[in-house]
Amino acid sequence: MPFIYSRTIRFQDTDAAGVVYFANVLSMCHEAYEASLAASGINLREFFSNPAIAIPITHAEVDFFRPMFCGDQTLIQLIPTLISDQEFKIDYQIFVGNSSDRSLSQAHTRHVCISPVIRKRENLPEMMQQWLKQWSDSEAD
C-alpha cells in the first residue's frame, strides 16, 4: 500500500516564473519520505544521526508533466521497492489535490545502506525492511 503525503505548494518552492523550481520537487519528495518513516514509527532524529548506518541517495531523477503553482494542493504518492539486501528505490508520483489521474510530476530515488565509518555497504536494518514492507506496492510483488 503506497504512502500518501499531502502538501501545499509554498511561495518558497517557486522560481521567478511562479512555478515550482525543479530541484524543489526532490525536496518535497524527501519530505514525503521523512513523513513515511515517521508514520512507520521510526524516530527521525535517531535515524538521521545514527552512527552505525547511513542510507544516502545514490541516484535521483524527476520528470515534469504540468506546472505547479503556489497554493496548489498536492498529494505525493511514495512506493518503495527493495532492490537488494543493501538497496532500495522509491517511486514518487505528485498529483493535483485528491485526483490520482492528473499527475504533475514523478520522481525516482535510489538509496544504499552503508556504514558511515568505513563507507562500505551494509544490509538494511530491520526497521527499514519493515518500512519497505509497509509501503511497498503489494500488487507488484
The position carrying cell 539486501 is: 85
List the strands of the sheet with 57-64, edge to edge. 3-8, 73-82, 87-96, 103-112, 57-64
Q: Which of 13, 15, 85, 101 is catalytic?
A: 15
Predicted TM-score (pTM) of the model is: 0.93
15 included as an active-site residue: yes
pLDDT in tens, 7-64: 999 999 999 999 999 999 999 999 999 999 999 999 999 999 999 999 999 999 999 9
pLDDT in tens, 90-119: 999 999 886 667 899 999 999 999 999 999
Q: What is the DSSP string of the chain?
A: --EEEEEEPPGGGB-TTSBB-HHHHHHHHHHHHHHHHHHTT--HHHHHT-SS-B--EEEEEEEESS--BTT-EEEEEEEEEE-SSSEEEEEEEEEETT-TT-EEEEEEEEEE-EETTTTEE-PPPHHHHHHHHHHS-GGG-
Hey, which CATH number is domain 3-130, 3.30.540.10, 3.10.129.10, 3.10.20.310, 2.40.128.120?
3.10.129.10
